[in-house]
Structure 1
């Protein structure tokens, strides 16, 4: 079991250094890191408790301020990295693995009809480029690079590069090499 908290692991992705609580607070001047901090704090508290309601209210304020629509119910693994702030939408039923990068303008959404009705499940070490759209009951494997502006509505195997609208993929062993830095174990 790791001695580091989930928040420390998220912040490690940004700097490559294990930070103390005070160092983490100092980095919270960055909107993306500040949001991750509030998101993880909110996740620690049950929804129907006083602290749960309090932190959800604070998180909601910053969702609006920064443009991150990520809810505390969303299951996101350790080592989350939000590259830039603004205009990011993630369905609360989505599952995202660890060591994932999500850029600005990304939409991870539910399909309400058709054969892919449902929400995406995204594996570990996935890099999602700016303005990519991932929609429906699909599975994205591990070590996948989703190029900017890609529209993904079908399953993607592990070790792949995804691009285009509609998305196509090609297999590549180290698809996210040099894209996902400071990975945590």
Structure 2
């Protein structure tokens, strides 16, 4: 897998197949994959003056069109997967690990005051369900499933399922089995 690009690894998560550049472009009819492609291009060329500006302008257009508010400054690991098209907000200072799935309506944001002032850090193999909210200077472990509509504002250990508002943690060694497929 070392020879594959980040874009190829992201697209592998969707199909379970290694795709050529042409096949990747053909799959860009899907808004989720199209946005991930443009996001990765804007990240790749962020330090190149002309290409960086071009991809930032393109990204901004599709942020508005698709409702995904994810910026090139956001650190996102390989195998990133957006489950559905729909509004999504991720603070640019947040960090997201490898093989993470994020559904529609999710907010990953900063907390501006209090003991958790800051931004979330999300581990590897995390599945975040629709309309979940993750805020503050918190750490989400590896192999964590955050259920739909959960409100998370405290640290979550590895191998956990999180549900509800206020959130409750349930230990589960197989938390994301069947939820995160085609890992890279």
TM range (shorter): over 0.9
Distance 1:111 1:134 in 2: 10
Distance 2:104 2:46 in 1: 29
Correspondence 1:21 to 2:21: yes
Distance 1:49 1:101 in 2: 31
SS at match of 2:54: helix
Unaligned runs of 5+ residues in structure 2 are: none
Distance 2:150 2:47 in 1: 34
Distance apart, 1:46 and its partner CA: 2.6
Match of 1:164 in 2: 164
Correspondence 1:5 to 2:5: yes
Match of 2:135 in 1: 135
8 Å CA contact 2:161–2:169 kept in 1: the answer is: yes
Match of 1:70 in 2: 70
8 Å CA contact 1:47–1:53 kept in 2: the answer is: no
String of CA shifts for 1:46-68, please: whole Å, max 9, x gaps.
35611111110000000000000
Runs ≥4 residues deviating over 6 A: none
Distance 1:45 1:124 in 2: 25
Match of 1:148 in 2: 148
String of CA shifts for 1:31-59, please: whole Å, max 9, x gaps.
00000000000001135611111110000
Match of 2:178 in 1: 178
Corresponding pairs, count: 184
Match of 2:98 in 1: 98
Distance apart, 1:86 and its partner CA: 1.3
8 Å CA contact 1:39–1:59 kept in 2: the answer is: yes
Unaligned runs of 5+ residues in structure 1 are: none
Match of 1:112 in 2: 112
Distance apart, 1:166 and its partner CA: 1.2
SS at match of 2:131: coil
8 Å CA contact 1:95–1:121 kept in 2: the answer is: yes
8 Å CA contact 2:46–2:72 kept in 1: the answer is: no
Taking only aligned residues, the RMSD between alpha carbons, in angstroms, comes to 0.9
Distance 2:171 2:54 in 1: 45
SS at match of 2:92: coil
Match of 1:55 in 2: 55
